[in-house]
Amino acid sequence: MTNPHPYAKLTPEVVLDVLDAATAVLVIANQELTTLKSASRLAGVLRQRCGNDRVKLAISRHDTESEIQTKDVERVLGGRIDYTFPSDYRAAVGALKAGWDYAEATFTKQDPFFLEAMNETAGKILIEGNAAGVKGWDIANTF
């Protein structure tokens, strides 16, 4: 059975071909420690693959009052921050709405996928996450 979704063809080889052809690769992180840890690893791998000059860095939801300042992010990510996107909820929602309205007016849906309500499970909690983890642990330890 084949998956008609266009991302289904996004094999590691295709991703590498795209990276090789790109003139710039943008790593976007925020000022949270876990994000910075992952972004640091990603930026390092991309620099090895693409070179320092093609890897650009950005901070999303940038907060000038954060304990983690831009200079700290630059130190962790190993380079100068090229772009910052402010933490402005109203502006973000406005941009989202403008983009949605534009897409709705301009594009026609091409793929066969649709979002549908999950009516069979609506309003029911099948199993709470921590309980599922405990049950999984219990099962794993019985063998």
Question: What is residue 60's three-state secondary structure?
Answer: strand
106 phi, psi to nearest 5 deg: -105, -35
Question: What is residue 37's three-state secondary structure?
Answer: helix
Q: How far is 124 from 26, CA to CA, in rounded Å? A: 41
Of the candidates 66, 58, 60, the residue with the CA atom closest to the CA atom of residue 88? 60
Q: Are 44 and 78 in contact (CB under 8 A)?
A: yes
Q: How confident is the model at residue 11 (pLDDT cuts 50, 70, 90)?
A: confident
Please write the tens of the pLDDT for every residue from 59-108. 999 999 999 999 999 999 999 999 999 888 898 889 989 999 998 899 88
